[in-house]
Amino acid sequence: MATLYVVSTPIGNLADVSPRAEETLRSVDRILAEDTRRSRVLTQHVGAKAPLVSLHAHNERGRIERVLAWLGAGEDLALVSDAGTPVVSDPGAVLVRAVQDAGYAVVPIPGPSAVLAALVASGLCSGPFLFLGFPDRKGKSRTALLERVASSAEPVVLFESPRRTVRLLEDLAGTCGPERAVAVARELTKIHEEFVRGTLAHAADHYREHPPKGEVTVVVGASDSGPSAVDLETRLVAAKELARELAAEGMKPSAAAKEIARRLDLARNDAYRIVHDSDESTTIA
What pLDDT, on a 0 to 100 scale, did the predictor assign at position 227? 53
Kindly report the average pLDDT of the chain as a whole number: 91
CATH number of residue 151's parent domain: 3.30.950.10
Q: Partners of 270 in the beta sheet?
A: none
Are 7 and 23 in the same domain? Answer: yes
Are 208 and 237 in the same domain? Answer: no
What pLDDT, on a 0 to 100 scale, did the predictor assign at position 281? 60
pLDDT in tens, 100-130: 999 999 999 999 999 999 999 999 988 899 9
Does residue 161 register a pLDDT over 80? yes
The DSSP element (H or E) to which 207 belongs, if any, is helix 200-209
Model confidence at 143, pLDDT cuts 50, 70, 90, reads very high
Does residue 283 register a pLDDT over 70? no
Are 105 and 10 in the same domain? Answer: yes
Sheet of strand 181-186, all strands in order from the earlier edge strand to the far edge: 130-133, 156-160, 216-220, 181-186, 194-199
Q: Partners of 31 in the beta sheet?
A: 52, 78
Residue where a domain stops, chosen among 80, 112, 144: 112
pLDDT in tens, 174-222: 999 999 999 999 999 999 999 999 999 999 999 999 999 999 999 999 9
Are 68 and 135 in the same domain? Answer: no
The total number of structural domains that make up the chain: 3
pLDDT in tens, 225-258: 555 444 666 778 888 888 888 888 888 888 888 8
Integer CA distances (angstroms), 245 to 171, 252, 258, 282, 283, in order: 34, 12, 14, 12, 15
CATH number of residue 98's parent domain: 3.40.1010.10
Considering only residues 154 and 284, tell me which one the structure prediction assigns the higher pLDDT.
Answer: 154
| Interior angle at CA 11, CA 6 and CA 12, nearest 5 | 140
Are 46 and 133 in the same domain? Answer: no
| Burial group, residue 26, by CB count within 10 angstroms (0-12, 13-18, 19+) | middle
Residue where a domain stops, chosen among 173, 188, 220: 220
Are 33 and 99 in the same domain? Answer: yes
Are 179 and 247 in the same domain? Answer: no
pLDDT in tens, 41-93: 999 999 999 999 999 999 999 999 999 999 999 999 999 999 999 998 889 99
Q: State the Cα–Cα distance between residues 155 and 176, nearest whole angstrom.
A: 12
Does residue 22 register a pLDDT over 90? yes
- Amino acid of residue 171: D
**pTM of the entire structure?**
0.76
Determine the straight-line distance between the first and last CA of the chain, rounded to whole angstroms.
Answer: 86
Which residues make Cβ contacts (< 8 Å) with residue 102, sequence separation at least 6?
A: 68, 71
What pLDDT, on a 0 to 100 scale, did the predictor assign at position 234? 72
Q: Domain range for residue 58?
A: 3-112
Q: State the Cα–Cα distance between residues 242 and 95, nearest whole angstrom.
A: 59
What pLDDT, on a 0 to 100 scale, did the predictor assign at position 271? 85
What pLDDT, on a 0 to 100 scale, did the predictor assign at position 66? 97
Does residue 284 register a pLDDT over 50? no
Are 93 and 156 in the same domain? Answer: no
CA 106 to chain centre: 27
Model confidence at 285, pLDDT cuts 50, 70, 90, reads very low
Considering only residues 97 and 282, tell me which one the structure prediction assigns the higher pLDDT.
Answer: 97
Are 105 and 16 in the same domain? Answer: yes
